[in-house]
Amino acid sequence: MDERTVSRAAFDAVIFDLDGVVTRTASLHARAWKQVFDEFLARWKWGNGGSRDPFDIEDDYNRHVDGKPRYDGVRDFLASRGIELPEGDPSDGPDVESVCGLGNRKNVLYNELLSQGGVEIFEDTVTQIEAWRAMGLKTAIVSSSKNCATVLQVAGLTELFDIRVDGVESARLGLEGKPAPDIFLKAAELLGVEPARAVVFEDAVSGVQAGRAGGFGWVIGVDRVGARDALLANGADTVVSDLREVPTGS
């Protein structure tokens, strides 16, 4: 049994992934990805054995796109189906059949879903963040999404975090996406803490892999969907389904 606690004696900061840990927006991402890829596969014609099976909202989402920068997700999913598209350019419109075009189409759909339903938050996470901030721990939010600031603003959570490293900042700074540890290491740097003195909270396999690769002091997997074994196998030290399960010291 892991006997560590989140405490000022053991750690200086707590770093959180956004989707699936702080906000319940992962389902919106998955729905947007499914629509994009299913529409694309329905019209795609090829003769080299590529699969036209619909996008699986659980397996394909978790395996190929969850936690990754948008264009990496497009690339990885298409490769899994034996499909190659031109890379295109980030300025491509959402109707352009390129890696960037499909990624941009997903972003349009995601923002439509976001505007229709707002943002649900995980109360257990917000409660714990408030408690840990009161103890004096620094807080950071990280996300591969370029919509992170908007989501936090809509949810009323912006003030809970000392710094934010998201898809916009990653692109500006040339950071590699998860499972590379860049985004977490940049968060620790901006907080002024050593990775070994920070706790990472992640719900994606690529995220716990990134936390492990970055040498963080405690990588906690957050299992909202029955992914406990996968999180443990890929780098999580501990897995919880509710952040109130995480032992807290003083």
Mind telling me the catalytic residues? 17, 19
Q: Is the dihedral angle over the CA atoms 150, 154, 159, 161 positive or is it negative?
A: negative
Place of tokens 């992962």: 26
Smallest CA-to-CA distance from 203 within 147, 241, 165 is with 241
Contact 181, 204 (CB under 8 A): no
Smallest CA-to-CA distance from 207 within 226, 230, 174, 225 is with 230
Beta strands of the chain (E only): which ranges? 13-17, 138-142, 163-165, 198-202, 218-222, 238-240
